[in-house]
Amino acid sequence: MAFQRGDQRVLINGKPYGLRLTMGALADIQSRLSVRGPHELSARLRELTAADGRVLLACVMQPCLPSEGALTRPAATASEDEVRQALPLICKLFEEAFSHDG
pLDDT in tens, 26-40: 999 999 999 999 899
How do the domains of the chain map onto residue ranges?
16-98
More confident residue, 16 or 3: 16
What pLDDT shows up at residue 4? 80
Instruction: List Cα–Cα distances, 55 to 5, 33, 38, 45, in angstroms.
Output: 23, 8, 17, 11
What pLDDT shows up at residue 70? 53
| pLDDT tens track for 18-77 | 999 999 999 999 999 999 998 999 999 999 999 999 999 999 999 888 765 554 578 888
Under 8 Å between Cβ of 7 and 90: no
* Rg (alpha carbons) of the chain, rounded to whole number: 13
